[in-house]
Amino acid sequence: MAFANINGTVLHHEYLTEDENAPVLILINSLGTDFRIWLPLLDELNSEWSILLYDKRGHGLSEVGKLPYSIEDHADDLIGLCRHLGIRKATIYGLSVGGLIAQSVYLKKPELVKKIILSNTSHKIGTAEMWAGRIADVEEHGIESLADSVMERWFTKDFHQRRRTDLTGYRNMLVRQDRAGYAATCGAIRDADFTASVSQIKVPVLCIVGDQDGSTPPDVVRATAGMIPNARFEIIEGCGHIPCVEQPAALADILDDFINA
């Protein structure tokens, strides 16, 4: 385990690298998860890449930090962590809220970004009313109160039926996140809107979605891809909101083709 104080907040991270000249892939996980969600994918990925995993503030083993949050705060954390580790150029993969963070990083420091993967995400996610309700529920009743409905959006019915043990583990991951950090990140998502800027992305972009994603359905992700010049759009069959868990091999094939193109 590695920790670094970035912008006054201690971030938990792991930088898997053996060659300073290897292409770097940064993985930004979704709301309510820590970087262990990427472990199934790591078994499938090209071993020649350097890979940065980290827990954003308020998640996993990272500190909650100063409240409230904005997506720009999360982006500044990643930019600072890259500076700390000497990463000058990387492909950034943002899952769900991670996709919003990736877009913000590009706007703030485009020279850091070689390519972007927007996975199960959009230029704007949900409505202010939806997020206000989510925050109120979490603050009053805790994350446990919404865990089952989140699992339904994260994973397909097949996953629920065939991988019940894994489902229990990922549910535990969700409910054990810090309540304040979770609510603050909900607020950051609520306030984030890249509608006016997403078309300005000039680097190669890949947009990915699961065909049964209950949080950011295919039409939502497709619409975002359509706003980005020359963006590539891919649907993963038999997959919900967390492809690195549910379909890691299929996801790895897509990533390998895109990153090495």
Distance of CA 67 to the CA centre of its chain: 20
DSSP state of 234: E
C-beta atoms surrounding 8 within 10 Å? 11
Q: Which two tokens stand for residue 90?
A: 């990387």
Q: For the segment 220-260, what is each residue's pLDDT rounded down to a tens digit?
A: 999 999 999 999 999 999 999 999 999 999 999 999 999 98
pLDDT, residue 20, reads: 82
Position 46 scores a pLDDT of 76
Q: Which residue type does 230 have?
A: N
**CA pair distance 255, 250, nearest whole angstrom:** 9
**51: β partners:** 16, 25
pLDDT at 47: 76
CB of 32 within 8 A of CB of 174? yes
Q: Residue length, the chain? A: 261
How wide is the angle at C-alpha 73 spanned by C-alphas 68 and 78, nearest 5°?
A: 140
Type of residue numbered 247 = Q
Cα gap 159→40, rounded to integer Å: 15
Q: Identify the CATH homologous superfamily for domain 2-260.
A: Alpha/Beta hydrolase fold, catalytic domain (3.40.50.1820)
Torsion of the alpha carbons at 127, 133, 137 and 140, rounded to the nearest 10? 130
**Token pair in block for residue 184:** 């603050």
Strand order in the sheet with 9-16: 2-6, 9-16, 50-54, 24-28, 90-95, 113-119, 205-210, 232-236
Q: CA Rg, the chain, in Å?
A: 17
- Which residues, given as ranges, of the chain have pLDDT below 50? none
